[in-house]
Each structure stands twice: as structure tokens, then as C-alpha cells.
Copies of this chain bind each other. A is one copy, B any other.
Amino acid sequence: MDGNHKESLSYVYAQQKELSVLGGIGALLGWDQMTYMPSKGANERSEQSALLSKLSHERVVSDTFWHHITTLSKPDVFQTLKESDQAVIQRLKEDIEKARKIPADYVQRVAKATTQSYQAWERARNKNDYTLFKPHLKTIIDLEKEYCGYINLPGPLYDSLLDGYEEGMTTEKLKKEFTILKKALKKILEDIMATAFYEKQQNENSIPMTSEKQKQLSKEIISLMHLPKDATRLDVSTHPFTTSLGDQDVRITTNYERKNPLFSFFSTVHEAGHALYELGMPQGPYAHTVIADAPSLGIHESQSRFWENMIARNKSFWEYFFPTFNTYLDSSNQLNNLETWYRHINQVHPSLIRVEADELTYCLHVILRFEIEVGLIDGNLDIAELPQIWAENMNEYLGITPKTDIEGVLQDMHWSGGSIGYFPTYAIGSIYAAQLFKQLQKETPDLSSIIRKGNLEPILTWLRAHVHQHGRLLHAEDIIKNTCGTGLDSQVFLTYLKEKYYPLYDV
């Protein structure tokens, strides 16, 4: 490697670092906006966010940056690079090449359209009227199709959208997996709903707990999960989220306003799962590079679902945590039957709202949205028919029908923000989580007894080694394949669900 290439390398690393640092500042702007910002600060905040986006975008599409990246990517230069530099340059080249396909005016049109569309979605929700959102959704769909034209991956248009959230995943593969999944989930759900236990279960079963107690409980569970106090925060926002301000500054939020303390408890566990992943990203030569990131949203979601469903809804876990949980309840509300409690927190019942869905029915909500998205993008589905399609499919998959648009097509904000191709990553996360859990069980014969002792550290260590430390060195599915033997595999997820839920409902 001659002097010029050293210069290119140092330029490229410096630019990547600036982008990463700007990303952390952007995360702070977003975190503050959702947690502590006074309401009238909103105008200035949008100026701040817009300026930061501009600064990042200038850097991403800078010709000098691209010149140095392409110089380093030439085979005769590339082969002289260290392995870590090769990994960085290769991944960076893919990212920047993709970003450079998007015209600047398109980025501006999307920013404007999504702002208007989000406002229209809020108005439509207030009036409970999809028709107010419909023309904006049409604009979004057209813009997304235009985007697909720029990215232009082989295969269906939707592949180009999916790639933005789940790099390497294809529409074809998802269609195949989701067809298997949908059929089997419906069957499991029918089996459960036919049981005597399902017949007599009560859906509303709220336990009173003050916000302060819920907060203490949240702090206790994240401490048990080894979320380091000195590198994290737990705050409150309307919708729970996780954000990274830096490799040692990862923040999660929850919400204590719901009647049921289980919302804050499980959402805290979920976000803490995301946070542990963020804190486990590779550093050293990969600090402030494109490698110190998740390879997909699906694998990110696998980490949150893993902790939420496989650990915090696990019977062994509650054998440990049951007495602790009781200390947060008033003497008049003490729980006394572990088995009843375990069934309660794993209750299955079809519901209209995705974010309130249980572990079993959740993916049916996702598959419904995936099918609609594919239909909207390939043009087989008319935007005017959406509420009707939604109602028919809800009825077919879950046996229930939304009475209003808020209970149906208006419930999620994703489309209003231009996020099409995002929903399937939730189901991918559920499947990956089950695959990882099966593998962890295989490699750890005493897993149940470890969990029963409240010792969650070996689990974190295992996830660090098999998932976290790889960052974006591999595609998500390759990380799963290397660890679990197969790529995305609905069958493993289905087996996990049957082994868990059939005994629960005495099927």
C-alpha cells in the first residue's frame, strides 16, 4: 500500500467517524424530543434535525469520499488492505453506492411528503377516517416505487424496499416462509381456541401498581439483564424506543401510564434487549465505522423478542422472579400461584391491534401488512380497497374484524413515514429469536436451571459471541445460519410455539 492509499484510508475513516458522530448527535436530538423537550421547542428542533440531516447527506454523497472509496476498492489496492479495512471498505462501498443512486431532489420530496403524510395520518386518526389519509398514502406509494427504480435490484420492486431494512432478504423467500407460517399459525390458534382452558380465560386481568413501583421494577429487571447503569438510561416516552448516542451511551424508554404494569415490564425488557445488542457492537478497528451496526432490523428485533418472549415469559425465569415481582405488589394483591401467573402472561387471544398482540398471533398481523405492502407496490392492490382487504384478511387470519379505521388500517404510523418494507422485519425477528433460543438450549443443557437461578449473564455472553460481536461483518441471515445451521426457518419458530403453547392450553 503506497502513501496515496494511506491517505485515502485515513480520509475514509475520518469521514465515517464524522458520519457516526453526527448520527449520535441526531440520536440525542431525537431522544430529547421524545422525552424531555418542552412542546414549544419543536420548531427549533426541526431546524436542528434538518441541518444535521443536511450535514450527513453532504458527507454521504461527497465526491471526494466516493473517490477515495473507489480507489481503495480497486482489486490491486483492496488486496493490500488489512482484513478489518477490507470489511469496512467493502460494506461502505455498498452503502455509499446505494445512497448515491438517490437524487438529492428525491430526498427533499420524500422529506416534504412524509411530513405532510404523517400530519394527514394524525388527522385521519382523529377523525377515524381512512379517506383523509388515502391520497397521502398514494403519494407515498408512488415515491416508494420511484425509489425502487433508483435502487433497481433484480426481482420484484418490493425487493428494493426490503433491502433497506433487511439487507439480502427477498420477497420470494418471505412469501414462501410467510405462507408456511400463516397456515400453521392459524392451525395452532384454532387448536388453542378449541380448548376448555381458552374458553374460560379472562382477557382483562389488570394488577394495580403505581408508576413509581413500575419504575423500580423496570430498573430491577434491566439490572438483572446486566444492562450497565453507567452506559444506559431508562426514561419515559409515549411509545417505548431504544436509541444509541454512542457505543457507551444507549438509552431506552418505557411508559408507566397503562393500567397494566406488565406493559412497562415487558416493554422495558424488549427495549433492554435492543440496548444490549447496541452495546455489544464490535469496537476496536470497527469503532465509528459502518461495521459497528446491526446488519438488519430483523436481527435487531430478534434480540428484543428473545429477551421479552424467550426469557421474560419463560417459566424458569418466573420460578426465580415470582417472589421478587410480588414485592412490588400491595399485600392485598399478592400473587400466589406461579402456574396461573405463567399462563396469564402468555395468554393467547386474537386482537385487532398489532402492538397489543400476543407472541402467537403477532406474526399474523405482520403477514397481513406484508401482503398488503407487496400488493400496493406491485400494483395488484388498489389503495381504495385497503380497509376492505384489511377487514377480510383479519377475519380470515384471526377471526375478528375491525369496526373502524383506527382499529384497522390507520393503527400504525409506519406507512405515513414512508416506511414500506419495514413490517416483515418484526416477523423475521420473532423467527430468528426462536432459532437462537433453540440453539442456545442445545448448547446449554442446564439452561433452565441457570435461568431459574436468575443468572442471565451466560445468556448475554452467548448472544454477544454469536450475534452482537459480528456487527455488520455478515448479513443477518448468515449470522443466523452460522450459529443455528439454517437461515430464516419458520419451522423452528412453529415448533417452539407448539412446544410452549400446547401444554399451556392443554391441547
Contacts and interface: CB of A to CB of B under 8 A. Distances in A.
A98 interface: no
Contacts of A38: 229-233, 248-249, 251
Contact of A43 (B22, B52, B235, B248): B248
- What is the size category of the interface that chain A forms with chain B? 35 or more
The quantity of this chain's copies bound in the complex is 2
Interface string A213-243: 0000000000000001111110100000000
B32 A48 contact: no
Interface in A43-66: 43-45, 47-48, 51-52, 55
Contacts of A47: 17, 21, 24, 246
Contacts of A25: 25, 29, 48, 51-52
Contacts of A129: none
A163 interface: no
Contact of A248 (B29, B40, B251): B40
B233 A40 contact: no
B248 A44 contact: yes
Contact of A32 (B17, B32, B39, B41): B32
A358 interface: no
Contact of A18 (B36, B51, B246): B51
A52 B18 CA distance: 10
A-side interface mostly: helix
B44 A245 contact: yes
A196 interface: no
A401 to B, nearest CB: 41
Contact of A51 (B21, B36, B228, B248): B21
A230 B48 CA distance: 19
A278 to B, nearest CB: 12
Contacts of A52: 25
A247 to B, nearest CB: 7
Contacts of A51: 18, 21-22, 25
A19 to B, nearest CB: 10
A251 B51 CA distance: 22
Contacts of A232: 38
A13 to B, nearest CB: 13
Interface in A417-434: none
Contacts of A247: 44
Nearest to A44: B246
13 contacts: A24-B48, A25-B48, A28-B28, A36-B36, A36-B233, A36-B235, A37-B249, A40-B231, A40-B249, A41-B231, A43-B246, A44-B247, A45-B245
Interface of A: 17-18, 21-22, 24-25, 28-29, 32, 36-41, 43-45, 47-48, 51-52, 55, 228-233, 235, 245-249, 251
